[in-house]
Amino acid sequence: STQDIGTEMSALFSSISNLSTNPSSASSRQAVLVAGQNLATAFNTASNTLTAQQAGLNTQVTQDVSQINQLTKQIAALNPQIAAMQAAGQDGGTLKDQQNQLVLSLSKLTNVSVTQSNDGVTLSTGNGTPLVVGTKSFALQTSTDSNGMTTVIDQNGTDITKSISSGDLGGTIQTRDTTIPGLLTQLDTLANQFASAFNNVQTSGTDQNGAAGIDFFKASGSATTISAGNITMKITDPTQIAASTDGTAGGNDNLVNFSNVQTT
């Protein structure tokens, strides 16, 4: 979007550059504060969006497990019907086709192993967890771990979440548990390092009133470590921008140090 982190970061440095031409300008100083808040909001939005996507995928796990159980129940119900038809000298082709379609739908949801026996189709997950044996289907269950994530439990109460590696369910779990947490970690690292670098420049200078600069960014609420989800502005007064290094009200020599953060 036009409010992404990269765009807002560039806008912040652009406002710093504009301020350097007239460090006493109230409107230019206010523009720096606005740009800083917009960048913080962009970080917040990106973090919240990823977290929301993770929550949506968590719900999808439950839905996929429910669908898997419905399919295995239908597949198991067809086994004795097909066996009865074959015992009567009929090939049961229509029912076999129906069962094959159900197995295909199941394989799109998760990795399955298919074998044929006298009792019909036998199905298990990739790690050997039985799903269908003869007339019986073995339903998977879901549980919630300490992080609020939905886990997949087999009929013996064993957590098989990490062994589910393919299909829609496998992809959902991989994205929820690995991809998104990895992106959030990178995003938090960027927000933290950027805020720290910016704050270091701010606190090394003096503001328009000749006072020592205070932090530009902070963590919101009771948090002590800045992350993408909690970064916000600490300074609220345009005169608090530490544009100078020697206490001169109209000085701008510290602004080049802000600009250097961009290349760093």
Q: What is the pLDDT of residues 179-212, one digit of tens each?
A: 999 999 999 999 999 999 999 999 999 999 999 9
For the chain, where are the E strands, in sequence order?
112-117, 120-125, 130-133, 136-137, 141-144, 150-153, 217-219, 231-233
String of DSSP letters for 159-212: B-GGG--SHHHHHHHHIIIIIHHHHHHHHHHHHHHHHHHHHHHHHHSB-TTSPB
Residue 1, pLDDT score: 66
pLDDT at 17: 96
How confident is residue 26, by pLDDT bands cut at 50, 70 and 90?
very high
Read off φ and ψ for residue 233, nearest 5 degrees: -80, 140
Q: Are strands 120-125 and 130-133 parallel, antiparallel or unpaired?
A: antiparallel
**What's the confidence (pLDDT) of residue 128?**
85
For residue 19, the model assigns a pLDDT of 97
| β-pair partners for 123 | 114, 132
Give the residue carrying structure tokens 């929550």. 55
What is the distance in angstroms between the CA of the first residue and the CA of the last residue of the chain? 24
Residue type, 198: F
Q: Say whether 6 sits in a helix, a strand or coil.
A: helix
Average pLDDT of the chain to the nearest whole number: 94
